[in-house]
Amino acid sequence: MPTTKSLIVAMAFSLAMVSGCNNAQQAASSPAQPAQPSNESFQDFGNYEVHYNALRTDTLTPDIARSFGIQRSTNRVLLNVTALKKTAEHASRQPVDATVQIDAYNLNGQLKNIEMRRVSEGDAIYYIGEVSISGSEILVFDISVTPTGETTPLKVKLKREFFTN
């Protein structure tokens, strides 16, 4: 099974490829797409941070996708969410268990079913889920994370445009 570091590296690389480049086939068959603004990938809540990312699943390597039971496809998006608790001096952060709830929808208001599942590797804890897309679609993820032992959810919104080939 790949390490957390290998998954994070693969996801970061994949995100860079998805947001920064169109493949040659798409570029040849359609006009250039406007550059996507860089979005924050985490939000600070004082004692906690919530990290999040979304990318097309076909950008994952086959080994990574297989080891995490993720279906690789141009019309599937993976959402990854992690909650980190800061230490007393905020010098380091530790992954924590949490309840993660997602409301996903496109700009037409169509709800997208996404079921998050907990993944742990060593000390790392994160939550992943997949959702389908069709054509060019902007998805909005309303992310609600309630760390274990807390009562108030930490809420963030991620909005990203995806293109199928």
> Tokens 């079913």 — which residue?
113
* Domain range for 67: 4-162
Question: Considering its fold, how many domains does the chain have in total?
Answer: 1
Q: What is the pTM of this model?
A: 0.77
* Confidence at residue 40, expressed as pLDDT on a 0 to 100 scale: 64
Q: In CATH, what number is assigned to the domain containing residue 79?
A: 2.60.40.3340
Tens-place pLDDT, residues 62-105: 999 999 999 999 999 999 999 999 987 767 999 999 999 999 99
* Confidence at residue 158, expressed as pLDDT on a 0 to 100 scale: 96
Tens-place pLDDT, residues 15-66: 333 333 333 333 334 444 443 444 569 999 999 999 999 999 999 999 999 9
